[in-house]
Amino acid sequence: MKTMQAFNPYLPSWEYVPDAEPHIVDGRVYIYGSHDLFNGLNFCLGDYVCWSAPVDDLGNWKYHGVIFKREQDPAAPRIRMTNGLAAPDMVVGDDGRYYLYYTAKSLVCQNQGISMNVVADGTLLDFMSIMDLSALFGNALDNAIRGAASVADENERLIRVVICEQMGFALVKIENRYAGEVRFDGKDLITTKNNKDYHGYGVKSIRRTVEKYDGTVTIRTEDGWFLLSILFPV
């Protein structure tokens, strides 16, 4: 008999997929989530798995197996006693392919003793392509992580990310602590005193991506903080 409404637990009692995001594809509901292990010592210790069910039979779930192994991410801790892969989701790319994505940068921060605080309304950036979003935040967060990691005091290794609406614009702020002396070449940062590779190429790539959408980039430093602000008309 078909089940139009599912009740918890909707998966088998031995399976633990928290933070699940549902997506309907070709008449089936697919869920993508973290993967906890029975009697695990922490959360998110398992590989990513996928389950699906027909939209008109939500009591008939099918296991599709492992879709991404923890060992495939070099940032994931090797020993399965600490958090690994967390809270993934799936998107359809501009090329029609299906892409799994997750918070890889948070793993890097965790491994380097960096605290990252995020307050974001991601719907404000729905106008951007998946590839451009990945390039923008990949570069910006890589820069922020390198900067924060240069701070000797782990209590001061901080990153703040904000995405909000402000006076008819989508505002993106990525701010991080850093050590050393920042130098600018015109409007782009090129190096710090202690790390000649820090920020240079990444900032130019960020600016190119933002200008595709008629946005503006502002960079400044203040009291040991590197402040990146981006405005998009919406």
Domains identified in the chain and CATH numbers: 1-102 (no CATH), 108-234 (3.30.565.10)
β-strands 158-166, 98-101 pairing: unpaired
**Is the pLDDT score of 201 beyond 60?**
no
In the chain, the percentage of residues whose pLDDT exceeds 90 is 44
Q: What single-letter amino acid sits at 226?
A: F
Alpha helix locations (H) across the chain? 104-111, 130-149, 200-211
Decide if 179 contacts 148 (C-beta within 8 A). Answer: no
Say what the pLDDT of residue 78 is.
62
Mean pLDDT calculated for residue range 60-68: 93
| Rg of the chain, C-alpha, whole Å | 20
Q: 4 pLDDT band (50/70/90 cuts)?
A: low
pLDDT band at 138 (very low <50, low <70, confident <90, very high): confident
Identify the pLDDT of residue 209.
94
Most confident of 71-80, 92-101, 149-158: 149-158
Residue 49 host element (H or E): strand 48-54
Band of the pLDDT at 160, cuts 50, 70, 90?
very high
Pairing of strands 89-92, 98-101: antiparallel
